[in-house]
Amino acid sequence: MPSPRLKEASQVFLYSCCPTPLFNVTESQKTVSKSGSTSSDWRRDFVQTTAASIFPNTRFTNHETLPSLEESFLEFIKAYPQYYETHQVDDIRDQEYYHLSLSNHACLDYIGIGLFSFDQLQKQKDPQFPSSSCSSPSLFSSPSQSLSFPFFSISYKTGNLKVQLLHGGQESELESSMKRRIMEFLNISESDYSMVFTANRTSAFKLVADSYPFKTSSKLLTVYDYESEAVESMINSSEKRGAHAMSAEFSWPRLRIHSSKLRNMLVSKKKQKRKRGLFVFPLHSRVTGARYPYLWMNVAQENGWDVLIDACALGPKDMDCFGLSLLRPDFLICSFYKVFGENPSGFGCLFVKKSAISNLEDSTSTGIVNIVPAKELLQLADESSVTDLELEQTTQIGLEEAGLSSSSSFSGPLSNQTPRSPKLEQGESSNIQNIEITARLEEPQNLEMGKSEIPVEHDKRTRAGALDFECRSLDQVDSLGLIMITNRARYLINWLVSSLLKLEHPNAEGFRLVKIYGPKVKFDRGPALAFNIFDWKREPVEPVLVQKLADRSNISLSYGFLHHIHFPDKYAEEKNSVLKTRGGGSNQIAPNNLKGKCDQGISVVTAALGFLANFEDTYRLWAFVAQFLDADFVEKERWRYTALNQNTIEV
């Protein structure tokens, strides 16, 4: 009998190919669908209906003429009526993450998977704390108060990755329970894969680079349309060990994988039994939202490549339909943060297929960490009489010794410039025994589109002497299910894309305020967005400036750098105007200082919708961007903050 997860995954595949209507359809469309529809038909209908439903035949040239939040929501529901079936997400947000509403904060910069809820954080501080959205904001208005109750801490250690994977090491009960819960959540079998915790995403990539046998399998092939500090760290370490690094390219203007070039790099012309190298493949872009065909993993494996899957940008339930048991990558990396919108610190996870461990080389590396109760770190601090600042500096040294930047967030905000950048825990106290984590019981679920009526149940008994605690955010995601989370994100991101493209400069007919890179309105695009804002002079507004202005409106955005862009002959004339040579300015993202690179690409603003995002979050971003239709908007903001004795923004 198939497991509930397998059934749900098959449902997702079915709906993605022949979905039920996701929006209002006309009678003529119903007639067409009855006569026989295909996956491509449904995708085309989705795009056409979205275009016809979201502000049809309308262009906004003045931010003051935008429809209100209420009016826009009514139009949104007309286009996507099944959004109402995702109300359970709103219930969870109201009950468990009420700080988002009370602070009026739109978090559009989180990447990774959350572990705990904000309400859980408050109860961890004070077991008598009331859990309701009516709680006073003053009770938790200080970020430092919340950050001082982190649930756990990480301790750094230097060791041999291969030995650690084969024989393990000393683990706290907390770490053992956390490991089991994560593997159960990701549907990864302990009999097939071994796992280590890492300081962050970057350290996980570097650990693989330091241990992979590049002497015999010399090639490293990566598939990233944006610059990633983690990938750059892997490339630098690999090349020092003799690897030949290559990258896929992405064709302008849609930024799809340049298929013929990638195939030529993957496919071996000679029949050889030895491994060719390591193929690093993200399932989709965490910047543009582009999804990539799983076919490339099969092509790589058939041609002698080991495969590393970067799952850090996946949605919280996307692993349920990944088909891990069929594709069986050699390595898989993902990341987790503590509390959405509040505490982005956490850890990375590196999974290695057990049959591949013997191929690794012995190497002494930093980046592996242990998960320990926060109070143990505090006890150490009390015994040595160190200050909170010294405690933070001690943890910081662990990252610096690993050659890793503490601002390189494995999860949480994408950019290291945001005010909510990850901080190491200081002055922590944790009543960790009061928390409990258990595996979700596998029970049949109502698999109707967007519905999950079976509540999450928890086995609160101690198993094998392990510490029980609750990762409430993981439990919530399990209860919602893949279908509901995927549909909700699909409605929101496509409304946002369509609405942004409705903004045009006045007195410049047809000149759009926003340029979107990668997929636009698309049925199966990911919930991430890369864009630039252009002023009336047709010059892009600096992404860092957009991020700072958004932050003043309590909207958290990030920025990135698109690269490896291929221009076909018919777009060759656009190349010089589109690509910019990145220097050492403020828009530089994760520079490759070790190699002195100064490559070409596009600096972009990025937004990412987590599973807790709602319509108001997307509307607020749209309304904020529309303010740039006012040619004096940036100058007004500069003068306003100067008058308030704030630091001015350098344009």
Where is average pLDDT lowest: 116-125, 190-199, 248-257, 330-339?
116-125
**Selected residue with higher pLDDT from 122 and 76:** 76
Q: What is the mean pLDDT of residues 161-177?
A: 89
Residue 529's identity, in one-letter code, is L
pLDDT at residue 135 tops 80: no
Burial letters 340-369, b for 16+ CB under 10 A, else e? bbbbbbbbbbbbbbeebbebbeebebbbbb
pLDDT at 383: 46
Give φ, ψ of 365 to 5 degrees.
-130, 155
**Helix-strand-coil split of the chain, %, nearest 5:** 40, 20, 40
**Per-residue pLDDT reduced to its tens digit, 260-304:** 999 999 998 777 667 799 999 998 999 999 999 999 999 999 999
Q: What is the mean pLDDT of residues 39-49?
A: 85
pLDDT at 273: 66
Give the chain's domains with CATH numbers.
46-109+480-581+598-643 (3.90.1150.10), 152-375 (3.40.640.10)
Q: What is the mean pLDDT of residues 58-68?
A: 95
Per DSSP, what are the bridge partners of residue 458? 440
Q: What is the mean pLDDT of residues 85-108?
A: 96
pLDDT at 608: 96
pLDDT at 128: 56
pLDDT at 521: 95
**Selected residue with higher pLDDT from 429 and 580:** 580
Give φ, ψ of 197 to 5 degrees.
-85, 140
pLDDT at 373: 83
Where is average pLDDT lowest: 122-126, 149-153, 509-513?
149-153
Angle between helix axes 615-626 and 69-79 (nearest 10 degrees) is 120
**Per-residue pLDDT reduced to its tens digit, 222-238:** 999 999 999 999 999 99
**Selected residue with higher pLDDT from 133 and 518:** 518
pLDDT at residue 103 tops 70: yes
pLDDT at residue 19 tops 60: no
User: Rounded to an integer, what distance in angstroms lies between the CA atom of residue 238 and that of residue 644?
Assistant: 50
pLDDT at 526: 93
Picking from 62, 70, 19, 12, the residue whose alpha carbon sits closest to that of residue 40 is: 19
Q: What is the mean pLDDT of residues 363-374?
A: 88
User: Rounded to an integer, what distance in angstroms lies between the CA atom of residue 319 and that of residue 481?
Assistant: 11
pLDDT at residue 457 tops 50: no
Average pLDDT, the chain: 78
How distant is the alpha carbon of residue 436 from its chain centre?
A: 26
Q: What is the mean pLDDT of residues 393-409?
A: 42
pLDDT at 559: 96
pLDDT-derived band at 172, boundaries 50, 70, 90: confident
pLDDT-derived band at 153, boundaries 50, 70, 90: confident
**Selected residue with higher pLDDT from 546 and 323:** 546
pLDDT at 377: 52
pLDDT at residue 508 tops 90: no
pLDDT at 150: 56
pLDDT-derived band at 130, boundaries 50, 70, 90: low
pLDDT at 108: 97
Residues of the chain above pLDDT 90, percent? 57
pLDDT at 407: 36
Q: What is the mean pLDDT of residues 550-573?
A: 96
pLDDT at 139: 34
pLDDT at residue 137 tops 80: no
Q: What is the mean pLDDT of residues 606-610?
A: 96
pLDDT at residue 603 tops 70: yes
Picking from 351, 347, 353, 345, the residue whose alpha carbon sits closest to that of residue 149 is: 345
pLDDT at 375: 65
Give φ, ψ of 571 to 5 degrees.
-110, 10
Picking from 92, 87, 2, the residue whose alpha carbon sits closest to that of residue 456 is: 92
User: Which residues make Cβ contacts (< 8 Å) with residue 197, sequence separation at least 6?
Assistant: 154, 175, 178, 179, 347, 348, 349, 368, 369, 370, 371
pLDDT at residue 325 tops 80: no
Q: State the pTM of this model.
A: 0.80
Picking from 279, 310, 309, the residue whose alpha carbon sits closest to that of residue 212 is: 279
**Selected residue with higher pLDDT from 38 and 126:** 38
Residues of the chain above pLDDT 70, percent? 71
Where is average pLDDT lowest: 97-106, 299-308, 455-464, 605-614?
455-464
pLDDT at residue 476 tops 80: yes
pLDDT at 274: 73
pLDDT at 326: 79
**Selected residue with higher pLDDT from 375 and 258:** 258
pLDDT-derived band at 49, boundaries 50, 70, 90: confident
pLDDT at 399: 44
pLDDT at residue 352 tops 90: yes
pLDDT at 314: 82
**Selected residue with higher pLDDT from 120 and 148:** 120
Picking from 174, 528, 176, the residue whose alpha carbon sits closest to that of residue 318 is: 528
pLDDT at 324: 74
Q: What is the mean pLDDT of residues 250-259?
A: 96
